[in-house]
């Protein structure tokens, strides 16, 4: 009975309300918890490392984004670390958003099971999704009205051009995705887009096509994206609309016992720049 009550509480968390509250406090940063076990400081586990980062930074950021690959690769122990990391965020930093970076999508019951795993089992507030299979594959996620779906649009990796720049009726595929999400998929007002900081002109174009959708923006920091251009081209009419993701440059700012303190210092520097 207690477990059902807790699940109901988690499902009632509204991602947009949490996002708006953080934006009102001028919090735009998201920490990607890409806890690569080969890079962790001596004496730490994935869970203890994440907990230290969360404790040191949660008052400064809008969201945490664990990437499932770094946990799934460790088998059952990694999955347990992922679950406990999210539970720790819910207990320690309930006003921050939990974005599960899973890039899911499939057909029928498979997609419904992915959605249940993300939102009910792992208790995330949002998930990243792949649009390639169309709205049918995305719909089970969108049906969770309180939960957010950040859909890949123009990603930050160098190979993104291979498909995302292909022309569809005279416009690039990434722009068609942005328009489709903004006008057709967002009926529950719970969609966002993943738009990389490494392509600022595309970011500008996508913001025009999707003026009010929240953008999850990877690529600032280690990948070389420019923070000033992200702010200039990516914000919406209210001056918000952004979750700017930082991962390696924050997590591994130090490899010593001061790693959490160093992460906080880096977050403070970026916050001051914003």
As annotated, the active-site residues are 103
Q: Is 203 helix (H, G, I), strand (E, B) or coil?
A: helix
Count of alpha carbons within 13 angstroms of residue 201, beta-carbon side: 2
CA pair distance 212, 233, nearest whole angstrom: 13
Q: What is the DSSP string of 145-202?
A: TTSEEEEEEE-SSGGGHHHHT-EETTEEHHHHHHHHIIIII-TTS-EEEEE-TT-HHH
CA pair distance 227, 232, nearest whole angstrom: 9
Q: Give 30: exposed, middle or buried? Use CB within 10 Å, 0-12, 13-18, 19+.
A: buried
Task: Look at the chain and count its residues.
Answer: 274
């Amino acid at each position: 009975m207690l477990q059902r009550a807790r699940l109901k509480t988690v499902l009632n968390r509204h991602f947009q309300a949490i996002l708006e509250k953080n934006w009102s406090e001028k919090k735009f940063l998201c920490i990607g918890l890409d806890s690569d076990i080969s890079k962790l400081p001596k004496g730490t586990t994935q869970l203890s490392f994440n907990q230290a980062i969360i404790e040191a930074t949660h008052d400064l950021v809008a969201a945490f984004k664990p990437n499932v690959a770094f946990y799934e690769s460790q088998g059952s122990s990694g999955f347990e670390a992922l679950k406990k990391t999210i539970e720790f965020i819910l207990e320690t930093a309930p006003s921050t958003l939990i974005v599960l970076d899973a890039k899911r999508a499939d057909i029928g019951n498979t997609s419904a099971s992915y959605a249940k795993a993300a939102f009910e089992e792992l208790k995330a507030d949002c998930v990243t999704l792949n649009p390639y299979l169309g709205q049918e594959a995305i719909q089970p996620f969108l049906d969770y009205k309180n939960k957010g779906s950040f859909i890949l649009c123009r990603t930050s990796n160098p190979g993104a051009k291979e498909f995302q720049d292909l022309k569809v009726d005279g416009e690039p595929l990434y722009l068609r995705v942005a328009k489709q999400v903004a006008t057709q998929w967002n009926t529950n007002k719970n969609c966002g887009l993943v738009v990389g900081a490494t392509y600022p002109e595309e970011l500008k174009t996508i913001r025009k096509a999707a003026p009010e959708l929240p953008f999850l923006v990877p690529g600032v920091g280690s990948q070389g994206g420019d923070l000033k251009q992200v702010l200039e081209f990516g914000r919406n009419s209210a001056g918000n609309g952004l979750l700017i993701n930082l991962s390696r440059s924050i997590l591994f700012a130090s490899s010593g016992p001061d790693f959490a303190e160093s992460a906080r210092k880096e977050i403070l520097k970026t916050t001051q720049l914003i």
